[in-house]
Copies of this chain bind each other. A is one copy, B any other.
Amino acid sequence: MKGPRFTPLIDSLPATVPFVGPEEQERIMGRPFTARLGANESVYGPAPEAIAAMAAEAAESWKYGDSLSHDLRAKLSEVHGVNPENMVIGSGIDGLLGSLVRLLVGQGTPVVTSAGAYPTFNYHVTGFGGTIHSVPYRNDAEDPDALIAKAAEVDAALIYFANPDNPMGSWHSAGRVQAMIDALPEGCVLCLDEAYCEFAPEGAVPPLDMTHPRVIRMRTFSKAHGMAGARIGYALGHEALIAAFSKVRNHFGVNRMAQAGALASLNAPDWLAHVQTEVAAARERISAIAAENGLAALPSATNFVTIDCGRDGAYAKSVLDGLIARGVFVRMPFVAPENRCIRVSAGTRADTDAFAVALRDTLAALG
Contact = CB atoms under 8 A, between A and B. Distances in A.
A250 B187 CA distance: 27
25 contacts: A3-B238, A4-B157, A4-B244, A5-B104, A7-B105, A7-B106, A9-B106, A17-B246, A22-B63, A24-B68, A27-B70, A46-B58, A54-B58, A55-B56, A60-B229, A61-B227, A62-B226, A62-B229, A64-B229, A65-B231, A229-B255, A230-B255, A230-B257, A231-B255, A255-B257
A212 interface: yes
A356 interface: no
A3 B214 CA distance: 6
A2 B251 contact: no
Interface of A: 1-10, 13-15, 17-19, 21-24, 27, 36, 39, 41-46, 50-52, 54-68, 70, 91-92, 94-95, 98, 102-106, 109, 127, 157, 186-187, 189, 212-214, 222, 226-231, 238, 240-241, 243-244, 246-248, 250-258, 261
A229 B251 contact: no
Contact of A257 (B10, B36, B54, B253): B54
Nearest to A98: B250
A259 to B, nearest CB: 9
Given A27-B70, A58-B55, A58-B257, A10 B228 contact: no
Given A103-B6, A231-B254, A257-B257, A63 B91 contact: no
A212 B2 CA distance: 9
Contacts of A243: 15
Nearest to A59: B51
Contacts of A248: 10, 13, 127
Chain B CB within 10 Å, residue with most, of A18, A102, A257: A257
A52 to B, nearest CB: 8
Most chain B beta carbons < 10 A, residue from A7, A39, A94: A7
A307 B128 CA distance: 43
Nearest to A186: B2
Contacts of A58: 46, 50-52, 54-55, 58, 257, 261
